[in-house]
């Protein structure tokens, strides 16, 4: 639009700046404030945009319920610790997130919350919450996704040998996680499973891998420098109800060929079955996938 404001068709977004955001950091103002999404809020010197130096979370929201908010907040604090950022005041963040979700009021939405290191040299982090419509995930949720395996170039013990690489933190440095989607598209696929340089299954660029071998469900062990998924917690609870245990294990990439079912789990898509892996068609258990999807969509807030 000529005045610089989003056109009427722009999807609705609610923006809340979090002012009293971290321990040991004097609050800029009261706890948080809703701001005009068309107005600029960030300095061009902020280390979030200039260096990807910060942490974030994305929570799925349906009918006002925030899925696994507790685990998301805990992971936010863990990522902040890994990046040596001040500890976020989680009670304030929770109030700010709930306020933004209520202000948006949409049915199937997502809340993203971000804390950056702020302007270089100040030591004052900057934080905000945005709430927006979720993408249209109908097709990946039911039809599934075509996936390729790509080498991440790190060994599976990278989290222990080189913690400064921040593997397992949900940092803002997601350019690589987006670049791999373009590489997937060049290979005629939609998503990716990262593989360690020593040949183990890791995770997707925005998802946790769940594998089925007979009556066994397996997911890669978090100590391999991968993010601990919050959706996985709800999936584990659902599968336990079905009589299945989910084991955390190091899985050699060659074993993927034997899997009877493969899924990518994440807060927004919930459980996307993999229908093609490295160009080979893969079986999709539609019945189980549908039930898993409903369990994730209807989960009470507390689980995860
Ligand atoms: N792994 C990575 C790298 C991610 O970015 C995400 C989520 O975006 C996940 C796994 C899945 O986590 P969650 O289930 O909490 O969305």
Domain ranges of the chain: 13-133, 138-298
Helix axes 286-298, 231-241, angle to 10 degrees: 120
Best of 208, 209, 238, 295 to mutate for ligand 1, by most ligand atoms within 8 A of CB? Answer: 208
Strand partners, 65: 62
The pair of three-digit structure tokens given for residue 148, joined into one six-digit string: 């390729």
As its CATH architecture, domain 138-298 has Alpha-Beta Barrel (3.20)
| CB 53 less than 6 A from any atom of ligand 1 | no
Q: Return the DSSP state at 29.
A: S
CA–CA separation, 116 and 128 (whole Å): 9
| CB 266 less than 6 A from any atom of ligand 1 | yes
- Tell me, in angstroms, the distance from the centre of ligand 1 to residue 130's CA: 18
pLDDT value at position 1? Answer: 46
The answer to whether residue 5 scores a pLDDT higher than 60 is: no
pLDDT tens figures, 266-288: 998 899 999 999 999 999 999 99
Q: Which atom of ligand 1 is nearest to the CA of 203?
A: 1
The answer to whether residue 169 scores a pLDDT higher than 90 is: yes
pLDDT value at position 22? Answer: 97
pLDDT value at position 138? Answer: 74
This prediction's pTM: 0.94
Residue-averaged pLDDT of the chain: 93
Cβ(29)–Cβ(22) below 8 Å = no
| CB 227 less than 6 A from any atom of ligand 1 | yes
33 sits in which H/E element: strand 32-35
The answer to whether residue 240 scores a pLDDT higher than 50 is: yes
pLDDT value at position 137? Answer: 74
| CB 268 less than 6 A from any atom of ligand 1 | no
CA–CA separation, 262 and 242 (whole Å): 17
* Averaged pLDDT for residues 69-89: 97
Best of 169, 179, 195, 267 to mutate for ligand 1, by most ligand atoms within 8 A of CB? Answer: 267
Q: Pick from 270, 274, 217: which is nearest to 241 by CA?
A: 217
Q: Which atom of ligand 1 is nearest to the CA of 208?
A: 10
Residue 283: C-alpha distances to residues 122, 129, 212, 277 (Å): 53, 39, 11, 10
The pair of three-digit structure tokens given for residue 15, joined into one six-digit string: 């923006």
CA–CA separation, 114 and 170 (whole Å): 10
Q: What percent of the chain has pLDDT over 70?
A: 96
CATH of 13-133, one of 3.20.20.10, 2.60.40.1120, 3.40.50.2300, 3.30.470.10: 3.30.470.10
Give the residue whose CA is nearest to atom 10 of ligand 1: 207
Strand partners, 35: 15
Give the Cβ contact number of residue 45 at 10 Å: 12
């Amino acid at each position: 639009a000529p005045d610089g404001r989003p056109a009427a068709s722009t999807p609705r977004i609610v923006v809340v700046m979090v002012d009293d955001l971290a321990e040991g950091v004097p609050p800029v103002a009261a706890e948080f404030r809703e701001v005009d999404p068309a107005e600029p809020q960030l300095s061009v010197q902020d280390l979030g945009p200039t260096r990807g130096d910060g942490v974030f979370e994305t929570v799925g929201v349906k009918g006002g319920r925030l899925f696994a908010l507790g685990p998301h907040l805990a992971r936010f604090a863990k990522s902040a610790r890994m990046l040596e950022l001040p500890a976020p005041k989680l009670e304030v963040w929770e109030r700010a997130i709930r306020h933004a979700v209520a202000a948006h009021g949409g049915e199937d939405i997502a809340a993203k919350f971000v804390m950056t290191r702020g302007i270089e040299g100040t030591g004052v982090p900057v934080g905000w919450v945005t709430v927006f419509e979720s993408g249209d995930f109908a097709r990946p949720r039911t039809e599934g996704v075509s996936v390729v395996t790509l080498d991440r170039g790190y060994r599976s013990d990278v989290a222990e040998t080189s913690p400064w690489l921040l593997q397992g933190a949900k940092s803002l440095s997601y350019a690589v996680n987006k670049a791999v989607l373009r590489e997937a598209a060049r290979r005629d696929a939609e998503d990716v499973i990262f593989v360690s340089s020593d040949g183990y299954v890791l995770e997707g660029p925005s998802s946790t891998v769940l594998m089925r071998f007979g009556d066994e469900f397996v997911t890669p062990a978090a100590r391999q420098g991968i993010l601990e998924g919050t959706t996985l917690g709800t999936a584990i609870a659902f599968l336990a109800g079905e009589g299945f245990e989910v084991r955390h294990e190091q899985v050699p990439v060659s074993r993927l060929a034997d899997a009877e079912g493969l899924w990518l789990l994440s807060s927004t898509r919930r459980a996307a079955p993999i229908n093609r892996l490295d160009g080979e068609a893969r079986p999709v258990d539609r019945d189980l996938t549908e039930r898993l999807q409903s369990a994730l969509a209807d989960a009470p807030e507390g689980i995860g």
